[in-house]
Amino acid sequence: MKKLFHGSEKIIKKPVYGQGRIDNDYGQGFYCTEDIELAREWAALDERGGFVNSYSFNERGMRIMDLTMPEYSVLSWMALLLKNRNVRLSSPLEKRAREFLIRQYLPDTKKADVIVGYRADDSYFSFARAFLSNTITIDQLSMALSLGDLGLQYMIKSERAFQALHYDSVEPVDGMTYYPRRIARDRSARDRYMQLLEDVDKHGRYINDIMKGEGR
């Protein structure tokens, strides 16, 4: 039995299958984390705070797609993100790169009950956009994601996965404490992003190289 947490401005005793935004990172589903401190920060959208909802999740028999495992690459994560998120692309290169990644690397999520992967908030999305625009290499992108501390998320996707998620408890989140921590975590990620932009990876593979067939 796995313990999962969902940070929100609301108390959610019964997550409902088929609800939620369709343009979230991995599509429509219920997004959680194993890290209660991270959930507390997610709940603190501002200084008013919110709630951390706690659940027990029975993983037995579940088909779990873990995008951090070796059978997937950072390009799988990118393709899924670009397929679901509303992304404003500012150049022809970015548009071609998006189409290429979705065509070549989009994982088939139809049979997945749960998807696990990096959370693409504004900071992580900056890394993705830099890669799309040929500014950083795939190795730099992978390093930024693996060294980041913005956390992994569990997306409860299928109807049977929703049935295996059981509400345990809720706790209030002090926004005066956790909103500044949320901002600090985001600032730290942005600092790493700026460091990436300063480093030129002369031997790495940029999106142009990958589209040309180099290193695939």
By percentage, how much of the chain surpasses pLDDT 90?
A: 58
Q: Whole-prediction pTM value? A: 0.88
By percentage, how much of the chain surpasses pLDDT 70?
A: 93
Check whether 134 has a pLDDT greater than 80.
yes
pLDDT of residue 12: 97
Confidence of residue 146 (pLDDT cuts 50, 70, 90): low
Token reading at 65: 């797609």
pLDDT of residue 216: 43
Check whether 37 has a pLDDT greater than 70.
yes
pLDDT of residue 169: 98
Compute the average pLDDT of residues 153-173: 97
Check whether 148 has a pLDDT greater than 70.
no
Are the beta carbons of 116 and 67 closer than 8 angstroms?
A: yes
Report the amino acid identity of residue 152: L
Are the beta carbons of 159 and 17 closer than 8 angstroms?
A: yes
Confidence of residue 186 (pLDDT cuts 50, 70, 90): confident
3-state secondary structure 158-177: CHHHHHCEEEEEEEEECHHH
Most confidently predicted of 57-61, 203-207, 212-216: 57-61
Check whether 178 has a pLDDT greater than 70.
yes
Check whether 53 has a pLDDT greater than 60.
yes
Give the residues across from 30 on adjacent strands.
156
Q: Which residues contact 198 (CB under 8 A, 6 or more apart)?
A: none
Confidence of residue 215 (pLDDT cuts 50, 70, 90): very low
Check whether 108 has a pLDDT greater than 90.
yes
Are the beta carbons of 101 and 75 closer than 8 angstroms?
A: yes
Which is more confidently placed, 203 or 47?
47
Check whether 144 has a pLDDT greater than 60.
yes
- 3-state DSSP call for residue 83? helix
pLDDT of residue 71: 92
